[in-house]
Amino acid sequence: MEKPHVLLVDGMALLFRSFFATSAVGQYFRTTDGLATNGVQGFTRHVLAAKTMMKPTHMAVCWDMGAHTFRTDMFDGYKANRPAPPEDMLHQFDMAKTVSEQLGWQNFGEAGIEADDFIGSFTKQWEGEVDFTIITGDKDMLQLLKPSVKIAFMKKGFHIYDVYTDDRFKEEYGIEPNQFADVKAFMGDASDGYPGVKGIGPKTALQLIQKYGSTDGVLAAIDELKPAQKKKIEENKEMLLLSKELAVIKCDIELDIPLEKIEVQQYTEEHIRICEDQQLNLLARQLEKSL
């Protein structure tokens, strides 16, 4: 019997990508009240296209719920270098969740926890029971790869993805996916605002994990390293260990969600009417095609 196929959507990643892709060319798709809808319509149309292509039986949309998380409690600099969202985007955060719910998609998010952690916890809750496809733009998700989990990184438009499987990752990186957080601990993440070990870049970080297996493995063998590497790591040991904690996706959120709750729903004329009432005309037209 074929396993259920769960599509896990990184909602905020799709919303940001959709907003900036269209705002860059001045397309905001405003309502008669002047409200921009470009991010919301891009996000929803992207999900609709993904559903058509990937044919999931179940789907969950996971969201970040504000800038403050348990990681910012651990490190003040976490994501502190990110610019504030443009004013035309602010109302679209809530609007996207509302429209998602109106279309019958299940939203998941909680203050203090990132979308990544919900996605990771979903893959853990039903591990072995279902197959997962994660849609995101976040390379951190590579650590979640397993034989039953693949990741579709957004590329161009609504239909082109760079798909990673467990086997592809191991072939390219020479490590297990769950060791990717150890690589991030050494190289840091400029986008997330944590430095790792200053002076150690992606290539060296990967080589260290390929040879010693983990952050702890490198520290246990520190006397074997070149003097310059040893000095950098010893001087930044505290940040190295903190960076590892920040890089690991939390997979132990208590979800307690029956699989049938996130079953993919059929669309009706009512869904089209709801979109038209909110002047989401591009979305309404795409829904018409799906009917």
Task: State whether 97 and 159 are in the same domain.
Answer: yes
If one counts the domains in the chain, the total is 2
pLDDT in tens, the chain (291 residues): 689 999 999 999 999 999 999 999 999 999 999 999 999 999 999 999 999 999 999 999 999 998 899 999 999 999 988 899 999 999 999 999 999 999 999 999 999 999 999 999 999 999 999 999 999 999 999 999 999 999 999 998 888 999 999 999 999 999 999 999 999 999 999 999 999 999 999 999 999 999 999 999 999 999 999 999 999 999 999 999 999 999 999 999 999 899 999 999 999 999 999 999 999 999 999 999 888
Domain annotation covers residue 111: yes
Q: What is the rounded distance in angstroms from the CA atom of residue 198 to the CA atom of residue 178?
A: 23
Domain CATH for 158: 3.40.50.1010
Which ranges of the chain does DSSP label H, i.e. alpha helix? Answer: 11-23, 38-54, 70-74, 87-102, 115-125, 166-173, 180-187, 202-212, 215-220, 227-235, 237-247, 269-277, 281-290
Q: Packing angle between helix 281-290 and helix 38-54, nearest 10 degrees?
A: 10
Q: What is the pLDDT of residue 256?
A: 86
Residue indicated by tokens 């504000």: 66
Task: State whether 169 and 53 are in the same domain.
Answer: yes
Task: State whether 197 and 282 are in the same domain.
Answer: no
Which ranges of 112-179 does DSSP label H, i.e. alpha helix? Answer: 115-125, 166-173
Domain annotation covers residue 253: no
End-to-end CA distance of the chain: 28
Q: What is the pLDDT of residue 2?
A: 86
Task: State whether 139 and 199 are in the same domain.
Answer: no
Q: What is the rounded distance in angstroms from the CA atom of residue 130 to the CA atom of residue 148?
A: 7
Task: State whether 145 and 100 are in the same domain.
Answer: yes
Q: What is the pLDDT of residue 129?
A: 92
Task: State whether 57 and 88 are in the same domain.
Answer: yes
Task: State whether 232 and 131 are in the same domain.
Answer: no
Domain annotation covers residue 18: yes
Residue-number span of the structural domain to which 134 is assigned: 5-173+258-290
Q: What is the pLDDT of residue 290?
A: 82
Question: What letter would DSSP give residue 195?
Answer: -
Domain annotation covers residue 252: no
Task: State whether 91 and 210 are in the same domain.
Answer: no
Domain CATH for 231: 1.10.150.20
Domain annotation covers residue 32: yes
Domain annotation covers residue 213: yes
